Amino acid sequence: MKKRFSPFPFALGIVLLLAFACGSQQQAVTFESEDDLPGKRVVVQTGSVYDLELSARTDIQLFRCNTATDCIASLVSGKSDVYKDDEVLLSPEDQRRQGIRWACRGEDAFPCGFAFRKDDVELVEQCNAFLADIRDSGLYQEIYDRWMTMDSEARPHMPDDILVYREGVPIRVASSSSTAPMGYQIGVGEWEGFEIELLKRFAASVKRPLEIKPYDVAAGPAALQTGRANLWVGCIFITEERQEQFLFSHPYYECHSAYFVKKENSSSKGGWEAFKQSFHKNLVEENRWRFIVDGLWETLILAFWSLVLGTVLAGVVCWMKRCRYQWVRKICQIYISLMHGLPVLVLLMVMFYVVLADTSLSATLVAIISFSMVFAAYVGEVFSSAIDSVGKGQTEAGIALGFTPLQTFIFVVLPQAIKRILPLYKAEAVSLFKNTSIVGYIAIQDLTRAGDVIRSRTFDAFFPLFVVSVIYFLLAFLLGKGLDLLIKTKRV
């Protein structure tokens, strides 16, 4: 019996997703000033100062999201009433497009600075000298005016007269900015914005190259402390607590907080028109499809090499599990239970920020190693039990014919074991492929992250997610089918 892929359940899923995206209209919330806060559902970015500030209050319900985009999505979908963040985060144009509006200014204002490691005194002094210089020369005001007055579709451009140094030790920047006008990507690894221009000019002034990697607000401190980055940027407020951990440059910007709410009766076009508009905005404008293509490539590279290395490691695990020395088996057992007991994400972070923090291995390599380790633990056990399931008599028959134990394994046991392995191997491979979607946490721009980057530029909560999920689904489907084909040809 041949089962054919039916597009209908899939189409149903799309319809439901779109309905969810366009539907969910909720009643407007009255919010005029900070006094209206009690009883509200407030959303903030995880780890931001507002998170610290508001989590002490008991009269509100606090939600945390990792990125500004998610916060806006939460607001728009009616999961929260008010969103507190930096005032500068959303231009009036962005607010209009998103169907949210500025409600009121918060009382607090924070100086923002670049954060450095405690022992990086020299770089801080250089940075402070640079900031003082540009304030004196009026360049700072020029930069400020260029980016901060941005309130229409006409986006300012990074001046192209800034010197770029390619030789020397790079300043590695962990950027928690992802939105205009502070710092955002217009292409993979192509950054723009107020903070970015400051940093580029600073790097030019000390004649060093600049490397910028995206990190969540919550991941920034770890990147700095473990030496993955020299400098952390992204509207980082200079607070006393943070000063205990980091060195800060002089403030380069004073940031006010603001409350945003959902716009009353925001008229959203529905149906095909809305879809076409989303398509254009999220993929065509600024060639944003390139994020998707590059992210997809990264995901494929990750999945492929993890699969290859993981399979090889699984062989090693299998060998260790069946080794004649008890201590080897013991080590193997500990390794397997460790891999079974740790969430993949936690393992990935531990590997990146702790175990392999001091090495120069790239994040992609660290991710491949981590995924292979988990894959090997699971698949190694599968290998081993498949070998066990090939009867002892088969080995004896091979030996009795004059084969060496190794030849017997290769010609007799392995071909039989592989047939039994394949169905489980397929399941693990597909799950490995999907698991790669968490690498955004260690600053790799994979497919999932590509969706996030687009979302942070367009503030469209749903369309990029939708595109990404369609691609994941199709690839997982194809991978599964491909392995099925392999299983069929192996079965006689």
Partner 1 sequence: MIEVRHLSKSFTSPEGSVIQVLRDVNCTIEKGEVISIIGPSGTGKSTFLRALNLMDPPTSGEILLDGKDILQKGYPLTELHQRMGMVFQSFNLFEHLSILDNVTLAPVKLLHKTRKEAEEEAKLLLRKVGMADKARSFPDNLSGGQKQRAAIARALAMHPEVILFDEPTSALDPTMVGEVLSVIRQLASEGLTMLIVTHEMKFARDVSTRIFFMNEGIIYEEGTPQQIFETPRRSATKAFVQRINKLLFEVDGPDFDFFNMYSKMSRFCIKYNIAGKMDAIDDIAQRMAQGILRDYRPLTVRLTHSGMTEVTALDFMIENLATSPFDAEGFDRGCLEVIRAQSKEIIEEPTTRGFRIKVLV
Count Cβ atoms below 10 Å from residue 61 Cβ, excluding itself: 13
The CB-of-364 to partner 1 minimum distance in angstroms stands at 39
Instruction: For Cα atoms 336, 341, 346, give the angle at the middle one, nearest 5 degrees.
Output: 115
Stretch in the footprint of partner 1 (CB under 8 A) among 169-177, 377-385, 401-409, 456-464: 401-409
Give the interface size with partner 1 as a residue count (CB under 8 A).
Answer: 19
The CB-of-273 to partner 1 minimum distance in angstroms stands at 59
Stretch in the footprint of partner 1 (CB under 8 A) among 201-209, 337-345, 359-367, 399-407: 399-407
- From residue 19, alpha-carbon distances to 271, 455, 490 in Å are 9, 19, 44
Work out which of 151, 331, 404, 477 binds partner 1, going by CB under 8 A.
Answer: 404
CA atoms of 327 and 314, how far apart (whole Å) = 18
Contact between 389 and partner 1 by CB under 8 A: the answer reads: no
Stretch in the footprint of partner 1 (CB under 8 A) among 129-137, 182-190, 329-337, 408-416: 408-416
Stretch in the footprint of partner 1 (CB under 8 A) among 145-153, 328-336, 396-404, 425-433: 396-404
DSSP 3-state helix, strand, coil percentages of the chain (rounded to 5)? 60, 15, 30
Contact between 393 and partner 1 by CB under 8 A: the answer reads: yes
Contact between 403 and partner 1 by CB under 8 A: the answer reads: yes
Work out which of 66, 239, 416, 469 binds partner 1, going by CB under 8 A.
Answer: 416
* HSE (side-chain half, CA atoms, 13 Å) at 221: 12
Two tokens, residue 468: 């990404």
> What is the distance, to the nearest Å, from the Cα of residue 416 to the centroid of all Cα atoms in its chain?
41
Q: Which residues lie closer than 8 Å to 396 by C-beta, 6 or more apart? A: none
Stretch in the footprint of partner 1 (CB under 8 A) among 152-160, 204-212, 391-399, 443-451: 391-399
Contact between 271 and partner 1 by CB under 8 A: the answer reads: no
CA atoms of 317 and 315, how far apart (whole Å) = 5
CA atoms of 188 and 131, how far apart (whole Å) = 28
CB nearer to partner 1: pick between 168 and 423? 423
Contact between 411 and partner 1 by CB under 8 A: the answer reads: yes
CA atoms of 463 and 445, how far apart (whole Å) = 18
CA atoms of 24 and 76, how far apart (whole Å) = 9
Contact between 162 and partner 1 by CB under 8 A: the answer reads: no
Contact between 406 and partner 1 by CB under 8 A: the answer reads: no
Q: Which residues bind partner 1 (CB under 8 A)?
A: 391, 393-394, 396-404, 407, 411-412, 415-416, 419, 492
